[in-house]
Amino acid sequence: MIEANNKVSNEVSVFKVYKMLIHKERKLYMHMNMLKQNGMRLEGLIWAPEYINFEKKVQEVIQAQNLTGLSYEKGPDSIPGLAKPTLFRTNEFTETFQEIVNTYGIPNYKEVNPGFFTCVTFPFLFGVMYGDLFHGSLLMAFGVYLCWAKAEAGTLANTLAPVKYLFLLMGIFATFCGLIYNDYTSTATSIFGDGCYKAEQ
């Protein structure tokens, strides 16, 4: 709220303060309800990836936050009745393809990750379906634009940044299959002589 002397007031909505406190309390009780009471203490289990020094990071947090009464110890490698969760490390390129795989199902622990193969097979099968030199070139050009444009807030490049490599690969394979099919906009105009579409006499 702006006052007459053009200074910003420090008034805060009471409703927003109560909403924030209630949200915080709900989160606290939700996580505390996941713990198991053992005498005078609460115990909980968490899974941590092996490639990071998780124990050291937990100890650093406990010391930094001065959390008295909180301790951490490494448990057994396997617990009967509990299935180990799956964690796949992804980067900017593979994240979108991993999300496609996870939509259909997350592989079990130590299973082969199909997301690695999906990086090629998904765009290629799209190109087989969408094979056209003209439309594939447009899609490829759009993918190149997304890769080179600055992803500033509120821009199209920022909105589609997570899928820019997906668009680029789909455009490349669609263009490639368009050349193989000798297809240009699905008309009588073909690249190498007569195509599969003949002009009406």
Question: Quick one: which of 120, 63, 55 has its CA closest to 94?
Answer: 120
CA separation (Å) from 23 to 18, 33, 34, 111, 175? Answer: 8, 15, 17, 38, 51
Strands (E) across 22-63 are located at 36-38, 41-43
Q: What is the pLDDT of residue 95?
A: 94
Q: What is the pLDDT of residue 132?
A: 87
Q: What is the pLDDT of residue 4?
A: 47
Q: What is the pTM of this model?
A: 0.67
Q: What is the pLDDT of residue 2?
A: 44
How far is it, in rounded angstroms, from Cα 177 to Cα 169?
12
**131 HSE (CA, 13 A, CB side):** 12
Residues whose CB falls within 8 Å of the CB of residue 131, separated by 6 or more in sequence, listed in order: 174, 176, 177, 178, 180, 181, 183
Question: Quick one: which of 120, 127, 121, 125 has its CA closest to 176?
Answer: 127
User: Do 170 and 127 form a contact (C-beta atoms < 8 A)?
Assistant: yes
CA Rg value for the chain? 27
Question: Quick one: which of 67, 11, 71, 10 has its CA closest to 38?
Answer: 71
Digit-by-digit pLDDT tens for the chain (201 residues) are 444 455 555 677 889 999 999 999 999 899 888 888 888 888 888 887 777 777 788 778 777 777 777 777 777 777 788 888 888 889 999 999 999 999 999 988 888 999 999 999 999 999 999 888 899 999 999 999 999 988 888 888 899 999 999 999 999 999 999 888 888 877 656 667 665 555 554
Name residue 157's amino acid. A
CA separation (Å) from 12 to 8, 16, 160? Answer: 11, 8, 35
Q: What is the pLDDT of residue 201?
A: 46
How far is it, in rounded angstroms, from Cα 106 to Cα 125?
21
